[in-house]
A and B are shown apart, each in its own frame.
Chain A
Amino acid sequence: MIARLLLGLAVLFLLAFLISPDSFAGLFQPLTKNNAPAIYTQTSLLSLTLSHLGLVALAVAASTLVAVALGVLVTRPAGREFLPLARTVTSVGQTFPPVAVLALAVPMMGFGAGPTLVALFLYGLLPIFENTLTGLTNQRPEVTEAARAMGMTPRQRLWQVELPLAMPLILAGVRLSAVISLATATIGSTVAAKTLGEVIIAGLLSSNTAFVVQGGLVVGLLAILIYEGFQALEGRLSRRIGLAQG
């Protein structure tokens, strides 16, 4: 109950701050020196936030599509032999530093959103892939058996039974990816992608702590809200199929 209230307040605060950042100037003034501006105004915070979210959404959607497809592929009899390969690819995607991906992608794709999308996409594959794998393989045997015994084709079993039952876990993977990407996207601003990283970098360059804090604050709040939103959805699905109590 209290958690809900806090979340509601966070949403309100975030909206108010993004719509009218100047009203909060007083709050950030103590963090500035030498009468520097308290609020970043080069680009509107709202438009930066929207493009930041858009970038993350696009990248996570792409990772989800690819990771779930991979997860499905390697759990089919025909694709089982690709499991080690898929594991390697997704782990490398996660361990290869996004900054390095940016550095490699810029010469090929030029500055802008492209390299950031690639970095986020690669970075987000692993959690979704691993969770899809767990969700599809750890199903109650009598349920999968019943699906076979009822005369469902392999495709019908996948769409009507296996994927719906794996959905809470898949969503948990997407949640992790989304939250990681939300933070990681800030580095995109080093290669001219429009993200909230722009505010933070501007703060670093001009030694303006207020900018750094407000950029970080917006990203942090977004991450919390997205995290909670996904978790609520997962909880709802799990409860519906009797996996979790409450």
Chain B
Amino acid sequence: MIEIQNLTKRYDGNTVVDDVSLTVETGQIAALVGTSGSGKTTLLRMINRLVEPSAGRVLIDGQDTAAIAPYLLRRRIGYAIQGHGLFPHRTVAQNIATVPRLLNWPEAEIRARVDELLAMFQLDPTQFRDRMPHELSGGQQQRVGVARALAARPELLLMDEPFGALDPVIRAKAQEDLRALQRRLGTTLVIVTHDMEEAVALGDRIAVMDKGRLLQYAPPAEILTRPATPFVQELIGTGERPFRLLSLSRVADLVQPGEAPGAPISAEASLRDALADCLWTGRDRLPVDGGGVVTLAALRERAAGADIGSAARASAGSPAR
């Protein structure tokens, strides 16, 4: 669990992070969104003390990070950035092995871990292990960067626009993989992104920042249905809102008894996909794999914020100050 308490950063009189407090529960994903220059990166870098706060503190599992030597703290926290920052003079395997090596893992264990991570990121170990970073595509470099951040099995992972350089298809896949991975490992994740879509897809909670201040910190459904300020509303993009809402839930959540003709849809598909299917094939109800139907009427209701709004209200812990 990360507790950020009244964290502030000033650069000669300019307050770039202004009294931000938020808590990320163990195993949850917090997505930081906001316009350029709103202080997202600065906030993130104060967690592993790449930037020293001007005021406030950060607790990790109850321990004040100010009391831990920065280099020891950072070995416990995975860090992945846009542009990946791979060491150009080291092979892919050596890059991934950086933190395990600093922690003096046995050589055999390091090798096994490197291969495991390469395989996990769909990079064939025999083919990629000994390549230099400049011999990889941008997307591959990015994945190696994330693999390096995960190498020592950190309980906490910080990511700063890790998928910025990827094309939309690979990006969606990378997000899906990251989400699955994070669920499997139970890692606590703080991810910075420019992209509301990405924040909605990944975040258990979304923190919206503007000019250094935290405007709202809440689950995606609540951000979408009850934006705290006009700025948040603008950031969500009202035109996209119903679709983003639908993308939050699976078909399985909305399935009702009944039967319908035509090709079935997977219960794991998002409601957004179900809506698209309805519109495209001109049907007003779709059969669901494993029984039941999902109806256009129910989709419309959900897209207008019914249900979710109240559910979100109930599940929201502490809304923004």
Give residues in A with beta carbon < 8 Å to B: 140, 142-143, 145-153, 156, 161, 164-165, 240-243
Return the 10 tightest CB-CB contacts between A and B, nearest first.
Answer: A242-B134, A146-B85, A151-B75, A151-B74, A142-B85, A149-B79, A241-B88, A241-B89, A151-B71, A164-B89
Residue in A140, A148, A161, A164 whose beta carbon sits within 8 Å of that of B50 in the complex: A148
* Contacts A147-B87, A165-B88; A153 near B81 (Cβ below 8 A): no
Closest to A163 in B: B89
Task: Given A145-B81, A148-B50, A151-B99, verify A240-B87 contact (CB < 8 Å).
Answer: no
Most buried by A among B88, B99, B102: B88
Tell me whether A161 and B87 are in contact in the complex, defined as CB-CB below 8 angstroms, given that A152-B102, A242-B133 are known contacts. yes
- A150 pairs with B75, CB closer than 8 A: yes
Asked whether B88 lies within 8 Å of A150 as measured between CB atoms, the reply is no
Interface SS of chain A: helix, strand, loop or mixed?
helix
Contact at A151–B102, with CB atoms within 8 Å?
Answer: yes
Given contacts A150-B98, A151-B73, A240-B89, contact A142 B133 (CB under 8 A): no
> A242 contacts B88, CB within 8 Å?
yes
Query: Measured between C-beta atoms, what is the minimum distance from A136 to chain B in Å?
Result: 14
Closest CB of chain B to A19's CB: distance in Å? Answer: 40
**Are B132 and A242 touching (Cβ within 8 A)?**
yes
Q: How far is the CB of A239 from chain B (nearest CB, A)?
A: 9
Distance in angstroms between the alpha carbons of A140 and B83 in the assembled complex = 11
A165 closest partner in B (C-beta): B89
Which chain B positions have C-beta within 8 A of A165?
88-89
The total of interchain contacts (Cβ-Cβ below 8 angstroms) comes to 66
Q: Does B48 make an interface contact (CB < 8 A)?
A: yes
Q: How far is the CA of A142 from the CA of B50 in the complex (A)?
A: 12
Give chain A nearest CB distance to B110 CB in angstroms.
14
| Any A CB within 8 A of the CB of B33 | no
What are 10 A-B residue pairs whose CB atoms fall within 8 Å in the complex? A142-B83, A149-B74, A149-B81, A150-B79, A150-B102, A151-B99, A151-B102, A164-B89, A242-B88, A242-B134
Docked CA distance A241–B133 (Å): 8
Chain A residues, Cβ within 8 Å of B74: 148-151
Decide yes or no whether B72 CB sits under 8 A from chain A. Answer: yes
Q: With A and B bound together, what is the CA distance between A241 and B134 in angstroms?
A: 7
B84 touches A (CB below 8 Å): yes
Decide: A156 near B102, CB < 8 A? Known: A151-B71, A151-B73. yes
Instruction: Please report the C-alpha to C-alpha distance between residue A245 and residue B157 in the assembled complex, in whole angstroms.
Output: 35
Chain B window 27-69, contacts with chain A (Cβ cutoff 8 Å), 1 for yes, 0 for no:
0000000000000000000001010000000000000000000
What is the minimal beta-carbon distance from B296 to any residue of chain A, in angstroms?
Answer: 48
Partner of A143, one of B50, B76, B87, B135: B87
Is B86's beta carbon under 8 Å from chain A? yes
Specify which chain A residues have a CB less than 8 angstroms from the CB of B87 in the assembled complex: 143, 146-147, 161
The residue on A at minimum CB distance from B99 is A150
In the assembled complex, the CB of B76 is this many whole angstroms from the nearest CB of chain A, namely: 8
Q: Say whether A142 contacts B102, CB under 8 Å.
A: no
- Rounded to whole angstroms, the CA-CA distance of A71 and B99 in the bound complex is 28
Q: Choose among A143, A151, A153 the residue that contacts B88 (Cβ–Cβ < 8 A).
A: A143
Give residues 165-185 of B contacting A (CB, 8 Å).
Answer: none
Contacts of A156 in B (CB 8 A): 102
Q: Are A151 and B72 in contact (CB under 8 A)?
A: yes
A153 to B71, CA, bound (A): 6
Residue of A nearest to B76 (CB): A151
Given contacts A148-B50, A151-B75, A242-B134, is CB(A143)–CB(B85) below 8 Å?
yes
**Shortest Cβ gap from A171 to chain B (Å):** 14
Q: Which residues of B are found within 8 Å of A153, using beta-carbon distances?
A: 71
CB distance from B15 to the nearest CB of A (A): 23
Q: Which residues of B contact A152 (CB under 8 A)?
A: 71, 98, 102
Q: Which of B70, B71, B72, B74 has the most A CB atoms < 10 Å from its CB?
A: B71
Give complex CA distance A147, B73 in Å: 14
Chain B residues near A142 (CB-CB < 8 A): 81, 83-85
Closest beta carbon of chain A to B215's beta carbon, Å: 27
User: Which residues of chain A come closer than 8 Å to B134, judged between CB atoms?
Assistant: 241-242
Complex alpha-carbon distance, A2 and B232, angstroms: 66
Most B CB within 10 A of own CB, among A151, A153, A242, A243: A151
A145 in contact with B85 (CB, 8 Å) = yes
Inter-chain contacts of B72 with A (CB < 8 A): 151
Query: Are A241 and B132 CB-contacts (below 8 A) given A143-B88, A151-B75?
Result: yes
- From B84, B85, B98, B132, give the contact of A240 (CB < 8 A): B132
How far is B85's CA from A165's CA once the two chains are assembled, in angstroms?
Answer: 13
